[in-house]
Amino acid sequence: MKNSYLAKVVTVSDSAFENKREDLSGKLLIELAESAGFEVIDTFLTKDGIEEVKEILLKESNGFKGFIFTTGGTGFSKRDLTPEATNKVIQRFTPGIDEAIRAVSDKAKLSRGVSGIVDDCIIINFPGSTKAVKESFEAVQPILSHAISLLLGSDTSH
């Protein structure tokens, strides 16, 4: 099934950014998005930190109609600041998406990821492990097309 919706993927990881480990979660998130019918038009790798992540999200959401999926930086370590950066960018929160992600497992309840709307863009924070990315994406994938079509005004059925 192909749809016409666009996506960008941002990996947030000090170790991947410094080439100390391979970015497996970002690669998997791209694969999952594409297999769900999204066209991934750009990918980014950044180190952890509020300003670094905020800068990418602001720049990439500006005028963009689609999804920005982030992976990493949603845990409890001192450098896990993706939610704080995302909160500085989004205009409206989408807590149902966050709740669906946290409901996938006991460990998922430790994810601090957030999601929300910036103009015509939906940003979703996914955890950084491949297992968590897969479980989380599968939890929200069934509603993604409907969510973006509602936001863009192409689906007004409720």
Instruction: State pTM to two decimals.
Output: 0.95
Number of H helices, E strands in the chain: 6, 6
80, pLDDT greater than 70: yes
Answer left, alpha or beta for residue 15, where phi above 0 means left and psi between -120 and 50 means alpha: alpha
pLDDT one-digit tens code per residue, 127-157 = 999 999 999 999 999 999 999 999 999 866 6
pLDDT one-digit tens code per residue, 96-127 = 999 999 999 999 999 999 999 999 999 999 99
All structural domains of the chain, each given as residue ranges with its CATH number in brackets, are 6-151 (3.40.980.10)
